[in-house]
Structure 1
Amino acid sequence: MSGSMDLTVLYRGPLSSCDYDCPYCPFAKRRDSREQLRADRAALERFAGWAAAQTGDRLSVLFTPWGEGLVRSWYRRTLTELSHLPHIRRVAIQTNLSCRTDWLAEASTETLALWCTYHPGQTPYDRFLGKCLDLVRREIRFSVGVVGFPEHLEEARRLRADLPGHVYLWVNAPEGHELSDAEADAWTELDPLFPYSRHPHRSAGLPCRTGESVVSVDGDGTVRRCHFVRAELGNLYDGSYRSALRPRACPLAVCDCHIGYVHLETLPLYDVFAGGVLERIPAPVGGSSERPPGSPR
C-alpha cells in the first residue's frame, strides 16, 4: 500500500508493571527492573518519533500497556506531544487513573483522550471520583468503567450516580465468571452497551478492519493485525508492514475483548462509537439507530 492513509495503531511496549494488585489481573503489583523501564522508555520514544514523522498519513493511536503507563513520565510526555501534531487524529491510553492529572494542562483537549478503569478496593472511591471530576473540569475526553463482578455492582452504581450524565460508564464482562441473566440485566441498566461485552463474538472468517486500517505494534516495531493474532505483517520502522495492509478475515474462532471486536465489520460499533472508538466513548444518543442485542428498548 502506498500513498497517504488513515491508520489506527494500538501500541503495547514491554512495560508490564502496575501499582495495583487486582486479583483478576496477571500483571498485578508486577515491578519492572530499571533496565526494563529504560527499554520501555527507549521503545516508546522510538515509536513516538515514528508517529511524529508520519505527516503524510492521518494517525490514531491507542496505548494499551500491560501495566500502568501514566505513572511513567515518558508516557505522559508522549501523549502530550503527540496530541499537538496536526496529523494525529486521536491519541489515547488505557489507565487506572492513579497518576496525577496536572500534566493534562499541557495537552490538546481536542486530540487526547483517556480510557479509565475503576478498580474497587485498589483506590479510595473519593480519590478516583475526584480525578474523574478533575478530568471533566479540564474538558478531557474520557470514558470510565469497571469489570462486572457482582461485588463491584454497588460501587459502579455509586460511580454512575456521581458522574455527569455525559460521561460514559462502560462495563466489561468478567473473565471466568458466568453472569446470570439477572446479573447481566443489572449491568445493562448501568451500561446499555453491556450486551456486546457479555459473550464472545463469533469472528472466524468474518471481515475485520484489523490488518487493513488498524494494526498492533510492539516495542520492537513488529506489526500484527491485532493483539490477539500472532502472525506478523512486517515491521513499523522499515515500512515493510505497509504492503501487507489489506482486507482480511479473522482467523480466530471468537473475539472477546473490546479492543478487538470493536473493529469487526459485522458489528455496528464504528457507528455506535463514532468519533470515540479508541477511547470507548459512544456517539451522542441519536447519532446511531443501532442497538446492541438484548438491549432495553
Structure 2
Amino acid sequence: MDLTLLYRGPLASCDYDCPYCPFAKRRDTGDQLRADRAALERFAAWATANTDDRLSILFTPWGEGLVRSWYRRTLAELSHLPHIRRVAIQTNLSCRTDWLADADPDTLALWCTFHPGQTPYDRFLTKCRELAARGIRFSVGIVGLPEHLDAARRLRADLPDHVYLWINAADGHTYTGPEADGWTRLDPLFPYSRHPHASAGLPCRTGESVISVDGEGTVRRCHFVRDPLGNLYDGTYRAALAPRGCPLTTCDCHIGYVHLETLPLYDVFAGGVLERVPAARPAPAGPVPVTLLPPPTTAVR
C-alpha cells in the first residue's frame, strides 16, 4: 500500500530562539540526544526493511534535525531505497548543504523556513541557491508577521521563480482584509493558512493512508490526535488503518489540514505534499471551500 508517515522523535533542541516558537532554544542533554539517535535509527531500520509498502516520510522534529549527523545520514540513505517515494524534513536550513551530494535528489526534499533575526538573510538565500544548484526539491516559507513582510517580499524577488514561497499565518494575529491581500500577493495559497479549518467529522486521509509515529513507535492518526492506533514495530497499527472522520473541531496546521479530503490540496501539491511544493505555480486560491473559523493558525512551522 501507499503509506505516508510523519515521524517526530524526542529531539527538542534547536539552534534558534524565535520569539513566536514555544520550543525555541531548548538544549537536549547528551543522554537525550543519544535516545533520539537510537529512536531514529530504529525507525530508519523499519523503513528500510518494510519493502511491502511504498513509503513517503516527512520528519517533523520539534527541534532542528539537520544540525545532527544522524538525521542527515538517515535522509541520504533512505533517499536511495526503491520503495521510498519521498523523504523530506522541516528545517531552518542552518546546516551545511554538502551532505546532499550523498542523497538522491529525485527522492529527497526539504521544507525550509526563514526566521528573520535568527540568521543573516544573505546566508539563508545562499543556502537556497545551493539547493537549487544541486537539483534539490524544496519550498521556502516565513511566518506572516507584519515585521516579516519586507523580508518575505525580498525572498520572493530573490528566490528562483520555480521555488514556492509559502506564508504561515501568525498565531494570535488577526489579519485585516488589506493585510491578508498583501500576503496573498506573495503566496496565493495564504487563504488556506489564514484561519483554522472546520474539520469535525469530515473525511481525512490521516488514520488510513497517513499516520504519525513517535520515537517509541506509537502510531496515531496525526500529530494532533492523541489516541493511539497501535505500534509501528509490532505491527498492531495495521488493523486500525481505516477511513474515519476527524475527531477535532478544527485543524489549523498545514501538516494536518493538507490531508483533509474536503480541501483540494492533494491536487494543488500533487507530487509535493510532504515538502509543500505545488505541482504548478499556484494561482490565487479564491474562496476556500470549507467553513473557516477564527482565530488564526499556528506559526511555528
**Structure 2 Cα separation of the partners of residues 134 and 203 of structure 1:** 39
- State the partner residue of 1:13: 9
- Match 2:50 to one of 50, 54, 62: 54
The Cα of 1:291 is off from its aligned counterpart by 3.7
> In structure 1, the residue corresponding to 2:100 is in which secondary structure?
helix
- Match 2:22 to one of 26, 29, 52: 26
- The 1:176/1:193 distance shift into structure 2, 3 A limit, reads same
- The 1:42/1:29 distance shift into structure 2, 3 A limit, reads same
> In structure 1, the residue corresponding to 2:260 is in which secondary structure?
coil
After the TM superposition, list the runs of 4 or more consecutive aligned residues in structure 1 that deviate by more than 3 angstroms: 289-292
What whole-Å deviation, never above 9, does each CA across 1:31-73 have from its counterpart, x for those lacking one? 0000000000000000000000011110000000000000000
Q: Does 1:89 align with 2:100?
A: no
Q: Which amino acid aligns with 1:106?
A: D
- State the partner residue of 1:226: 222
Q: Does 1:293 align with 2:283?
A: no
The Cα of 1:293 is off from its aligned counterpart by 2.1
The Cα of 1:292 is off from its aligned counterpart by 4.4
**Structure 2 Cα separation of the partners of residues 139 and 77 of structure 1:** 18
- Match 1:176 to one of 142, 165, 172: 172
- State the partner residue of 1:238: 234
> In structure 2, the residue corresponding to 1:15 is in which secondary structure?
coil
User: Percent sequence identity over matched residues?
Assistant: 80
- State the partner residue of 2:250: 254
Q: Which amino acid aligns with 2:262?
A: T
Question: Is contact 1:208-1:265 (8 Å) kept?
Answer: yes
**Structure 2 Cα separation of the partners of residues 142 and 30 of structure 1:** 26
**Structure 2 Cα separation of the partners of residues 18 and 181 of structure 1:** 34
> In structure 1, the residue corresponding to 2:112 is in which secondary structure?
strand
**Structure 1 Cα separation of the partners of residues 235 and 119 of structure 2:** 42
Instruction: Identify which of structures 1 and 2 has the higher relative contact order when contacts are C-alpha pairs closer than 8 Å and 6+ apart.
Output: 2
What whole-Å deviation, never above 9, does each CA across 1:246-265 have from its counterpart, x for those lacking one? 00000000000000000000
> TM-score normalised to the size of structure 1?
0.96
> In structure 2, the residue corresponding to 1:119 is in which secondary structure?
coil
Which structure 2 segments of 5+ residues have no match?
290-301
- State the partner residue of 1:280: 276
- State the partner residue of 1:142: 138
RMSD: 1.3
What whole-Å deviation, never above 9, does each CA across 1:94-151 have from its counterpart, x for those lacking one? 0000000000011000000000000000000000000000000000000000000010
Question: Is contact 2:203-2:243 (8 Å) kept?
Answer: yes
Question: Is contact 2:55-2:83 (8 Å) kept?
Answer: yes
The Cα of 1:294 is off from its aligned counterpart by 6.3
> TM-score normalised to the size of structure 2?
0.94
Question: Is contact 1:196-1:292 (8 Å) kept?
Answer: no
- State the partner residue of 2:117: 121
**Structure 2 Cα separation of the partners of residues 292 and 280 of structure 1:** 19
- State the partner residue of 1:191: 187
Question: Is contact 1:268-1:290 (8 Å) kept?
Answer: no
**Structure 2 Cα separation of the partners of residues 244 and 48 of structure 1:** 22
**Structure 1 Cα separation of the partners of residues 93 and 160 of structure 2:** 17
The Cα of 1:180 is off from its aligned counterpart by 1.2
Aligned pairs, how many? 289
- The 1:240/1:290 distance shift into structure 2, 3 A limit, reads farther
**Structure 1 Cα separation of the partners of residues 285 and 183 of structure 2:** 16
> In structure 2, the residue corresponding to 1:114 is in which secondary structure?
strand
